Amino acid sequence: MKLSELKVIITGGAQGMGAHFAKRLQEGGAQVAVGDVAEAKLAELPAGIHRRRLDVSSEEDVRSFVAWAAQAMGGLNGLINNAGILRDALLVKKDKATGEVKTLSTADWAAVIGVNLTGATLMVREVVAHMARAETRGGVVVNMSSIARHGNRGQSNYVAAKAALAANTFTWAREFASFGIRVGAVAPGMIETPMTQGMNQKARDALVANIPVGRIGVPEDIWLAVKFILECDYFNGRTIDVDGGLSM
């Protein structure tokens, strides 16, 4: 599919990778609708990009947003499932000084699953349902997974969500084939974004030091993979790792 043919939703698109995708898509002639909870950042997006508050963990919000975006763009044939949060902590941790045993809170587990997995799934469901009702052929969904899907210390919640998204990329590609809709995923490694900038500095430095290409990634690195999935009509059901060769 040509970028100029796209009428695409981007979740979590107010900043970081999502904002970069939105700008690059607009440059390519696509119509873009961005949703995010960061309303102040939404206002900073370039003119011509549709934008509205969206909490992907809210089923009502998702349904309303998809209907609004389709109307604003005069149709809908794409989704980039980018919204995500971190609430990192060991599942069980013993304080070396006090001996106190602490555990990952249910709230932090639920928050990450709610946005990164349930929210992403709700978006796919509602976008694909809209395209199926409209008999839109040639639609495409891009899920943002992560290198962490293979397992990473201190990220049980994030790993669970991103692994499930990669697995369901395969599942949904088969389920949606009859609608003429493709599904692909990109699994970024360490990328320079507001989310990774908030990481523990020691952990961040250790990860960057283990990247074979010798640098942290930038949003443009991930955009190149997203663009490939959008444009290559023979790509379907797979996940592309873009991680500089990093192994966690």
- Residues noted as catalytic: 158
Burial class (CB in 10 A: 0-12, 13-18, 19+), 3: middle
CA gap 210, 237 in Å, rounded: 29
DSSP E strand stretches across 16-175: 31-36, 50-53, 78-81, 92-94, 101-103, 140-144
CB neighbour list of residue 148: distance below 8 Å, 6 or more residues apart: 155, 158, 159, 162, 248
CA gap 156, 184 in Å, rounded: 23
Q: Within 10 Å of residue 98's Cβ, how many Cβ atoms?
A: 8
Half-sphere exposure of 83 (CA within 13 A, CB side): 31
